[in-house]
Amino acid sequence: MTCEYRDIILKVTGVSLTLGHNVILRDLNLEVRDIYRPGMITGQICGLLGPSGIGKTRLFRLLSGIDAPTSGSIVLGEKSTPVHRGMVGMVAQNYPLFEHRTVLGNLALAARCSGLSGQAASEKALAYLKRFDLEERADLYPCQLSGGQRQRAAIAQQFLCSEHFVLMDEPFSGLDLIAIDKVCKMLVETANADELNTVIVVTHDIVAAAAVADTIWLLGRDRDEKGHIIPGAKVKATYNLIERGLTWREGLTETHEFMELVREIRTVFPTL
């Protein structure tokens, strides 16, 4: 698949996090670049995988700007702007929305929080309702939405806040196979709505992450010469699915190459 990597969208350099006497993350480095394909709009989807308790949620909070690392830097965009709260959208597992506001009201508020005036905010909110197939749900309240509709509304809300960058925490949790497939398709459509759109999916679902991502990061810990765990998680492996020919293909999950990738990651997982 012909593509090229352009400007840096996200760069994490030497990030460590210590809470009290506990080293959570250690010398963590990762990078996301704009993936360009001639004649096509292609966003970026990255999967962050790791065992429970490894530090995925802590890294999630650092990438969003909610927390600051003990050392190292996290910057966004070609200007290398240090990340801060509000720059990156966050979609938590329960898809939080303001229950006393309609779907349109939730989106319009997010647009105003991003700095738009009332009229401009309403127009942009309406555009996002159309993009996320929620036009007919504009006047409903969150409690009147299905789980899938609520998820789409939460993602639209966060893209309105941050424009191009959204983190998703366990978006496949508790879903059946059909629902997971729908979420994967929706994430791809969302990412590919704009060249700079970037979605980072924090999950422990290896198959779903491999099905939707162009890059997968494995978070784990090093061990010393005696096999003892060295405190502090870092990116132990990066899988470039584009180079492996495992992106932008119909029937991808049924291929031998895909199954081999999943098997490879599952083999590594217990060592993390």
**CATH code at position 202:** 3.40.50.300
Question: Average pLDDT of 69-87?
Answer: 92
Give a yes or no: residue 35 inside a domain. Answer: yes
Give a yes or no: residue 258 inside a domain. Answer: yes
Give a yes or no: residue 117 inside a domain. Answer: no
Instruction: Indicate the number of domains in the chain.
Output: 1
> Confidence band (pLDDT; 50, 70, 90) for 68?
very high
Instruction: Report whether 108 contacts 50 (CB < 8 A).
Output: no
User: In the chain, what is the straight-line distance between the N-terminal and C-terminal CA atoms, in Å?
Assistant: 31
Dihedral of the alpha carbons of 64, 68, 69, 75, in degrees to the nearest 10: 50
Q: Write down the pLDDT at residue 41.
A: 93
Strands in 22-36's sheet, in edge-to-edge order, are: 22-36, 4-19, 71-76, 81-82
* C-alpha span between 133 and 14 (Å, rounded): 40
CB atoms within 10 A of CB 243: 12
Is residue 1 pLDDT above 70, yes or no?
no
Smallest CA-to-CA distance from 87 within 154, 156, 157, 162 is with 162
Give a yes or no: residue 172 inside a domain. Answer: yes
Is residue 35 pLDDT above 90, yes or no?
yes
CB atoms within 10 A of CB 211: 23
Question: Average pLDDT of 195-218?
Answer: 93
For strand 89-91 and strand 81-82, is the pairing parallel, antiparallel, or unpaired? Answer: unpaired
Instruction: Report whether 233 contacts 55 (CB < 8 A).
Output: yes
Give a yes or no: residue 147 inside a domain. Answer: no
What's the whole-model pTM score? 0.87
Contacts of 195 (CB under 8 A, 6+ apart): 34, 36, 41, 42, 43
Give a yes or no: residue 149 inside a domain. Answer: no
Range of the domain at 236: 4-95+164-271
